[in-house]
Amino acid sequence: MVIKNLEKINIKIFQNDLISWFKREQRDLPWRKDQDPYKVWVSEIMLQQTRVDTVIPYFNRFIEWFPTIDDLADADEDKILKAWEGLGYYSRVRNLQSAVKEVRATYNGVVPDTPEEITRLKGVGPYTAGAILSIAYGLPEPAVDGNVMRVISRILSIWEDTARPASRKVFEQAVRELISHDDPSAFNQALMELGALICTPTSPACLLCPVREHCQAFEEGVQHELPVKTKKNKTRNVQLAAAILVDDSGRIMIHKRPSTGLLANLWEFPNVELKHPLEGEQDYVEQLFNTSLGLNIQLGRIIGQVEHVFSHLIWNIMVYIGKITTEFEEGDEWKLVSVEEMEQYAFPVPYQKMFKLYQQSLEE
């Protein structure tokens, strides 16, 4: 595969300019303290779809709770989900635990250092593999995510649609041609850092860019038109009613979501999807709770609304408070817990927001 515009770049000087800038300007991030492949792996999985500032406290806590591959492999799933609570995309951490179990069973607890072996691990795609192999093991493997595609599309003026999976091969090949074999770890991290700090999606800070003199898009004045990325399909809106239901002892009803699908195995407050425009009519909502969930409850007032955006849908949740009006039998999926016991269970962000609304309502 021939990559256009490569012949216009002095690759050695490009590498030096990029890596020198990175070594001067890189952010002080906890996963950069050493090159432990396990820590690099954890950080890269957390950073998928998530901002760096958000990840830092999660990473620190996760490594504190599960400092080694053995600790994570042996951990109870509920504790892992609690450590991940609020980060979203929970399949990431389930796959991570499956993969570290595989590393322990097959590779004596040592993260593999070849592309063939590491990409066989659950949840380790080409990007994560390239990041671990280059950052932790110093191998000249590309680590191409959206950030890197944006940078490379501008540096080389590549007009491939970055939303198309086939385009990744073009960018991976471009990075293979450009990567420093002397310091692939710093090179790949520098590309990522450049995309995060300078070569941003909407307002690239070209005048501050350490590789501006190599950038074909800047030379052509088209940096704001790149990368090419087609729009995703629209998200679907889902209207829900959820309730914080309390028994006579002040315990709160919680429900464990199914073991597959969206937010699998996490805990939630009872909720129903509203199919009709009668969503504001309390009798209708109460009846829906009783018939859909088999609960005998009495709804009180609405204490607020919560919106939560997923990649493919938006939840609009009307939040009620209410009472459980009959004896309730607990099981694996339904529990009554005190406010203090809530700490032991992992809840997705929208339900954490609901609980805050509930606590505020008690103070009013």
Cα(92)–Cα(42) distance, integer angstroms: 10
34: left (phi over 0), alpha (psi -120 to 50) or beta: beta
**DSSP-assigned states of every residue in 213-273:** GG-HHHHHT-TTT-SB-PPPPPPEEEEEEEEEEE-TTS-EEEEEPPSSSTTTT-EE--EEE
From 249, 237, 326, select the one nearest 275 (Cα to Cα): 237
Residues 6+ apart with CB under 8 A from 200: none
If you ran DSSP here, which 8-state letter would residue 202 be given?
Answer: S
Residue 363 token pair: 């103070």
Greatest CA separation for the chain: 76
Decide if 343 is catalytic: no
Phi first, then psi, for residue 340 (nearest 5°) are: -65, -40
Residue with tokens 């471009």: 174
The continuous run of DSSP H or E covering 200 comes out as: none
Catalytic-labelled residue, pool 7, 44, 279, 329: 44
Q: What is the CA radius of gyration of the chain?
A: 24
Residues with catalytic roles: 44
